[in-house]
A and B are shown apart, each in its own frame.
Chain A
Amino acid sequence: MSVKDCISKICPSATFEEGDILLVNVPAENWRKLAEELKHNPELNFDVLTAVVGMDWKESLGVVYYFTATSHKWEMLSVKVAVADRENPYIHTVSDLWKVANFQEREVYDFFGIKFIGHPDMRRFFLRNDWKGFPLRKDYDANPALNPIPTDDEKNEDDTISYVEQPDGTIKGIPGKVFKEGDYVVNVGPQHPSTHGVMRFRAAIDGEEVKKVDVVSGYIHRGIEKLCESLGYPQILHFTDRMDYMSAHQNRHCLCMCIEKAMGLVIPERAVVIRTIMDELMRISSHLLSFGCTAMDLGATTAFFYGFREREMILDIFEKTCGARMSMNYNVIGGVIADLHPDFVKDVKALLAIMPERLKEYHKVYSGNIIAKNRMVGVGHLSKEDAINYCITGPSGRGSNWSNDCRKKHPYAAYDRVEFDEVLLDGCDSYARYMVRMKEIEQSCRIIEQLIDRIPEGDIRAQVPKIVKLPAGHWYTQVEASRGTFGVYIESDGGKTPFRVHFQSPCFNLVGVMDLCCRGNMIADLITIGAALDFVIPDIDR
């Protein structure tokens, strides 16, 4: 039985739209029943909630969910749930079925004001609790007088609320507290040496043991998704370099692919190969930074410099070809912006030649150290089930033995014609996550080695009209960024600017398991776990 038939049987009122991914329209009252079936029915078994996209279609508010079935060849499905009530929009939560929805639904609430029935902690995620209005709604009033810059100290917001459906159908808000009375709460961040950016954790501790971690985010949120709605497609590209700046090429690659898919553009072969090589160079540079920062956070300052020494070579390569060391702005719609620098092949080969030796050095100075092992082995346990439930993709998920590499599951660019292994380790701890990264550097080198001598001649970009317009519709594209699966959702109404853009960033999910991983560990482990999960804050605060 096909997915379509199966869903029709469960929910006869559902309608379907064909597209790049099958879309199911479900009335809000039937959504909860369908969600349970999607998760538990063996015929459907969509065990990964890939993306949650809040939407404002003007006449209605709603959510588009993207699911992936790991047991059915990574088949994807999207579900659209809409409610017409703009004052008090309610949708049933799925945060108990897919744990990743906990933070995702809070983000949707924050920006669209949709309240999720049964969600345990319905607070805002990025904005302050006293913020007026919901910024991503189309009728949002951005008048600064409504939300003046506060001049008083921010109070710690311990109040939360949970909406429960009463037997008679009415919905009641039940207030709650984030921390218990008498909890000793230590603030880690937003300015802290080891949060890798402006991130804040509030940790309830007992002596040295962490009892609970509350993530307070949004200190550098730039409202990229809102900004995109007022800019043309070529103009929104540069935002992607500024989200996860360590996956700048991959993120931009993803957005370009999504726009190209919508336009039906065919990319010249040379551009495809160049993009692939750049993605892998970016991945190596990202993992080197991760190695350095993990070592640094654990107090091994010298290893940090070793990682940066090699990363410097990659940045030099980028600088020569792209003109920048960070925020490269290299991919454009239809290809890449500039041809490779004449030294490119020579420089890349020099890097590939030294990497194996340098990796050995890293293992000697850090990975093999008894203190480093004691600090990381068994710390921050994340089982495979939890990794899937929390949608922890990328090296962190693969450290829990979950095969989730987008390059293998949905091959794109030149990945279907190169040989490489998906690195999987079953340690489920910080050490496994760390080691996956180190081994992925080897695999990335392998990919580049296969491509570097086979860069085809030809154009570096396709012919693209001066004004890019997408037909009405919606598209979702994924790539494997340095930290996990990065997704882009674009909805267009046929105009020059997108109707809605959503970036599904891997780090947003990573920070969602901080509480789960840190509980029962020590304060020092909180830092280790954060370092080994390797989240980048601008990727969370888009």
Chain B
Amino acid sequence: MFDFGIVTNWINDLLVGCMPVWAATLIECVIIGVLILLAYTVLALFYILYERKLCAWFQCRLGPMRVGPWGLLQVFADMFKILIKELISLKGTDKFLFKLAPYIIITSSVVMLACLPWGRGLQIIDYNIGIFFILAVSSVGVLGILLAGWSSNNKYTLIGAMRSGAQMISYELSLGLALMSIVVLAGTMNINELVAQQERCWFIFQGWLPAVVAFVIYVIAATAETNRGPFDLPEAEHELTAGYHTEYSGIHFGFFYLAEYLNLFIVSGIASLMFLGGWMPFHIAGLDCFNMVMNWIPGPIWFLAKAFFISYVIIWFKWTFPRVRIDQMLALEWKYMMPFALVNLIVMAVFVAFGWTF
């Protein structure tokens, strides 16, 4: 497969050749910053349209149709509308925290986005504890939600924030344990290595039973982590009007909105990296011709296709299931999913120890 590292190294050499190293690094940082924000915006816009169209089809509707062909330009209209809306400041709010909260949320999701590799060499942050880093950064997002709920000085937002805290802290356990099962299988936390090990066969097939169980647990926990239906209690619109972001307007609300969609992409992206091979094409050992055809499809397309597929499943959940209640949600996590994920981790360890994997 094409190694994108060739391109990045060429740019690096070009810059270092004509200016001091610090200046080259600075320029590279700026370019990367611009690229990631651009990717962030484009993805968010795509996801908004994606979900609106999908939910419309689930509901026997057409979805946005008026702006542009098949409503494709609707999201741009929406984006400009939200950019020019007034930021309403309220009496009685904690002004500093109120304004800080959306930035914390958006920062955490931008950093997570930077960790995802889109193809061979097409990655911004590559740690040897990559997956651990992603989990750590994702926990920062809940801080933003708590701050938003608390600083708004509103009972609905406070209840929403409380629910969100309980929910995200709980479900992070299953999420982490499900990912740990794969780490046990792979023996590494480095995302690049994780993907490289799936060249022969995706992890969901390599680790068969425990990997499939981990995948199911991961998808459920990820749905809860992103506050999406049926786990959208923190913003349960029919109970708390809009939950923790009730009082936000304009682009500050937009940040919550974008972060929600981007988090959906990020959890889907992680699932695709950890279980479905990330940018690695679908290979079947022995069928060399088939593998070569698969290799012709570029890595980023593989990665995006897998991520969009998992997002589709999560969107499907949201538009089909009713919302669970707070006690039922916590019972599901602490009584069923977490013990199950723990047992699954042990099973995976046993499988790996005895070499019962493919």
Contact = CB atoms under 8 A, between A and B. Distances in A.
A459 B16 CA distance: 97
A290 to B, nearest CB: 15
B156 to A, nearest CB: 7
A13 interface: no
Contacts of A208: 159, 163, 326-327
A301 B236 contact: no
A527 interface: yes
Contacts of A375: 322-325, 328
A320 B238 CA distance: 35
A522 interface: yes
A522 B326 contact: yes
Nearest to A521: B325
A529 interface: no
A305 B319 CA distance: 11
Contacts of A306: 60
Contacts of B55: 301-302
A245 B92 CA distance: 40
Nearest to A207: B162
A143 interface: no
A182 to B, nearest CB: 15
Interface residues of B, number: 29
B91 interface: no
Nearest to A187: B155
Contacts of B321: 299-300, 369, 371
A229 B350 CA distance: 83
Contact of A298 (B61, B159, B238, B320): B238
A527 B156 CA distance: 14
B328 A374 contact: yes
Interface in A488-542: 522-527
Interface in B210-252: 229-230, 232-233, 236-241
A353 interface: no
B159 A299 contact: no
Nearest to A309: B60
Contacts of A329: none
Interface string A258-291: 0000000000000000000000000000000000
A302 B230 contact: no
Contact of A372 (B61, B155, B233, B322): B322
B58 A299 contact: no
B25 interface: no
A67 B35 CA distance: 76
Contacts of B322: 295, 298-300, 366, 369, 371-372, 375
Contact of B236 (A184, A296, A299): A299
B59 interface: yes
Contacts of A301: 55, 59, 319
Interface in B58-114: 58-61
A10 interface: no
Interface residues of A, number: 31
Contacts of B59: 301-302, 305
Nearest to A192: B241
A186 B157 CA distance: 11
Given A186-B159, A208-B326, A305-B60, A365 B238 contact: no
B324 A302 contact: no
B61, B159, B237, B239 interface centre (most CB from chain A within 10 Å): B239
A194, A295, A296, A525 interface centre (most CB from chain B within 10 Å): A194
Contact of A365 (B239, B320, B326, B328): B320
Contacts of A405: none
Contacts of A186: 155-156, 159
Given A299-B230, A299-B236, A305-B61, A522 B327 contact: yes
Nearest to B230: A371
Contacts of B319: 301-302
B90 to A, nearest CB: 15
Given A186-B159, A302-B319, A296 B325 contact: no
Given A302-B58, A365-B320, A522 B236 contact: no
Contacts of B238: 193-194, 296-299, 527
A361 to B, nearest CB: 11
A227 B137 CA distance: 63
A110 B213 CA distance: 62
A366 B320 CA distance: 8
A524 B237 contact: no
B356 to A, nearest CB: 33
Nearest to B166: A208
B318 to A, nearest CB: 8
A302 B229 CA distance: 12
Interface of B: 55, 58-61, 155-156, 159, 163, 229-230, 232-233, 236-241, 319-328
8 contacts: A208-B326, A299-B236, A299-B322, A300-B322, A522-B327, A523-B240, A524-B325, A527-B238
Closest CB pairs A-B (n = 4): A299-B323, A298-B322, A300-B322, A305-B59
Given A187-B155, A193-B238, A298-B238, 9 more contacts: A184-B155, A186-B155, A208-B326, A299-B232, A299-B321, A301-B55, A302-B59, A305-B61, A523-B159
